[in-house]
């Protein structure tokens, strides 16, 4: 990271190549939309270049730091979109707001989009991003107990939507 902070473009490109997949996948699961995921990924990696000097390896892994930026950007984007939609339409389902029109999607993807944003985030970060419960708690600014509570509710909601017997 010191090399990136010093302007080393080659090291930066290596880091982008290594982290782009997980970050863009998380952004897509959060926003349900490839274009929005790309916006978030671009902003995350721009911040990596601009703020590399701020990264403190003693406090977090690089992947956790990048996921935290992606998480904050995704939450901002979802809230902004909700504000815009609420000015036009009332009672629009989450899946209608965030999906790409006409796209046939995996049942799990659809079920994820119906979760409240904090449950979706907890489940995506824990299950798909291979982060520890403490890292997820740090990213979301919650205790591990609070994250576990969100996970139980998220998984129960997923089982109901996917019609898995409990």
Which residues does 142 contact at the CB level (< 8 Å), separation at least 6? 150
Three-state DSSP at 80 gives: helix
Q: How many residues at the interface with other proteins, by CB under 8 A?
A: 44
In the bound state with other proteins, the residue whose beta carbon lies nearer, of 89 and 103, is 103
Q: Of residues 57, 89, 92, 164, which one binds other proteins by CB under 8 A?
A: 164
Express the helix, strand and coil content of the chain in percent, nearest 5 each: 75, 0, 25
Three-state DSSP at 165 gives: coil
When asked if residue 119 is in the footprint of other proteins (CB under 8 A), the reply is: no
CA atoms of 78 and 48, how far apart (whole Å): 22
Q: Of residues 5, 11, 25, 62, which one binds other proteins by CB under 8 A?
A: 25
Q: Of residues 76, 86, 108, 141, which one binds other proteins by CB under 8 A?
A: 108
In the bound state with other proteins, the residue whose beta carbon lies nearer, of 7 and 141, is 7
State the greatest distance between any 2 C-alpha atoms of the chain, in Å, as a whole number: 55
Q: How far is the CB of 91 from other proteins (least distance, A)?
A: 27
* Residues listed for the chain: 166
When asked if residue 120 is in the footprint of other proteins (CB under 8 A), the reply is: no
CA atoms of 109 and 114, how far apart (whole Å): 9
Binding site for other proteins (CB under 8 A): 9, 12-13, 16-17, 20, 24-29, 34, 37-38, 41-42, 45-46, 49-50, 106-109, 112, 126-128, 132-133, 144, 148-149, 151-152, 155-156, 158-159, 162, 164-166
């Amino acid at each position: 990271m010191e090399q990136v902070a010093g302007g080393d473009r080659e090291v930066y490109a290596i880091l982008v190549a290594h982290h782009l997949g997980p970050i863009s996948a998380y952004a897509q699961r959060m926003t349900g939309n490839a274009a929005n995921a790309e916006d978030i990924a671009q902003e995350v990696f721009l911040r990596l270049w601009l703020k590399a000097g701020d990264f403190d390896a003693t406090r977090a892994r690089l992947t956790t730091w990048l996921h935290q930026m992606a998480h904050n950007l995704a939450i901002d984007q979802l809230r902004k979109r909700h504000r815009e939609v609420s000015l036009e339409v009332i009672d629009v389902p989450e899946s209608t707001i965030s999906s790409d029109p006409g796209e046939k999607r995996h049942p799990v993807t659809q079920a994820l989009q119906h979760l409240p944003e904090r449950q979706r985030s907890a489940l995506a970060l824990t299950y798909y991003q291979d982060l520890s419960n403490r890292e997820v708690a740090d990213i979301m600014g919650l205790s591990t107990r609070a994250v576990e509570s969100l996970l139980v509710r998220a998984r129960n909601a997923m089982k109901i939507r996917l019609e898995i017997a409990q």
